[in-house]
Amino acid sequence: MLILVTNDDGIHAPGIAALAESLAPLGQVVIVAPDRDRSAIGHALTLHAPLRADELTPGVFAVDGTPTDCVNLGIHGLLPATPDLVVAGINRGANLGDDITYSGTVSAAMEATLMGVPALAVSLGGETYTASEYSNAGGAALFLARKTLQDGLPVDTFLNVNVPSGRIRGMRLTRQGRRRYADMVVEKLDPRGRKYYWLGGGECDFEYLDGTDCHALHEGFISVTPLHLDLTNFQSFECLSLWNADYPVG
């Protein structure tokens, strides 16, 4: 098997090294990752500047772009063939609920799915990030990678995996939860009296509803959330279809 590994924490993050080591029993692992931290960059693609990929060691490439760029370059240029699987992670910090819309880790798996390659996004939650905890997350990634390669995934579907720190009680199939946002913008003054702002500086929490990714991780379970490329809200068709008749024609 040929496996492409990427992340959004950067090529030197401990999580990507742990992930590559964990997946090595499956076959050839090639790392194509950003040359620096690109957290919360979402599904951004570099279109107005050239990209460079430096091979640091055989099969390990540092790209001056986004996680989405890395998946594109890996599949279409750097790898010797189309990979059998793409795994993004191991992210330092959970990617739960609404946060998946910002996550470069999740977006890398989404990009691979758009290209027809099965994919997983793997994140490590909690407050500590020890070598043993990364190893536990790597073990979960190996288990799910094997299952994905053996059984496949539904069409246009990829997995968002969140692993708790500490003792793992098991694994749960979950749905996407919701984030409770507080004041996410922090306003301060610089030494010259001018205002500046930090995004994401406020306190926030999750809604710990049973069956959600947030609840599973909070209870010490690995959360496995199948995500779908089609964002259409089909339940809204009945009420919104009435708008068609109200549109003035002629």
Asked whether residue 242 is assigned to any structural domain, the reply reads no
Asked whether residue 42 is assigned to any structural domain, the reply reads yes
Query: Could you tell me if 91 and 123 are in contact, meaning their C-beta atoms sit under 8 angstroms apart?
Result: yes
pLDDT, the chain, mean: 93
Banded pLDDT at 242 (limits 50, 70, 90): confident
The answer, yes or no, to whether residue 243 has pLDDT greater than 60, is: yes
At residue 181, the pLDDT reads: 65
Banded pLDDT at 202 (limits 50, 70, 90): low
Number of domains observed in the structure of the chain:
1
CATH of the domain at 157: 3.40.1210.10
Mean pLDDT of 130-141: 97
Q: What would the pLDDT profile of 64-94 be if each residue is shown by its tens digit?
A: 999 999 999 999 999 999 999 999 999 999 9
Residue with tokens 């994140």: 123
Banded pLDDT at 206 (limits 50, 70, 90): confident
Cα 250 from chain centroid (whole Å): 47
Mean pLDDT of 191-217: 83
Mean pLDDT of 140-153: 98
At residue 182, the pLDDT reads: 63
Q: With 0-12 CB in 10 A as exposed, 13-18 as middle and 19+ as buried, what is 237? A: exposed
Q: Looking at per-residue confidence, does 247 or 202 come out higher?
A: 247
The answer, yes or no, to whether residue 184 has pLDDT greater than 90, is: no
Least confident of 163-177, 203-217, 222-236: 203-217
Phi, psi of 227 (to 5 degrees): -110, 150
Asked whether residue 122 is assigned to any structural domain, the reply reads yes
Mean pLDDT of 11-36: 98
Asked whether residue 113 is assigned to any structural domain, the reply reads yes
Asked whether residue 62 is assigned to any structural domain, the reply reads yes
- All residues at 6 or more sequence positions from 229 whose CB lies less than 8 Å from its CB, including other chains: 110, 113, 114, 156, 157
Asked whether residue 112 is assigned to any structural domain, the reply reads yes
- All residues at 6 or more sequence positions from 127 whose CB lies less than 8 Å from its CB, including other chains: 165
Q: What would the pLDDT profile of 186-199 be if each residue is shown by its tens digit?
A: 888 999 999 998 87
At residue 59, the pLDDT reads: 97
The answer, yes or no, to whether residue 204 has pLDDT greater than 80, is: no
Full domain range(s) for residue 7: 2-179+207-232
Query: Could you tell me if 4 and 112 are in contact, meaning their C-beta atoms sit under 8 angstroms apart?
Result: yes
At residue 25, the pLDDT reads: 98
The answer, yes or no, to whether residue 149 has pLDDT greater than 60, is: yes
Asked whether residue 189 is assigned to any structural domain, the reply reads no
Asked whether residue 188 is assigned to any structural domain, the reply reads no
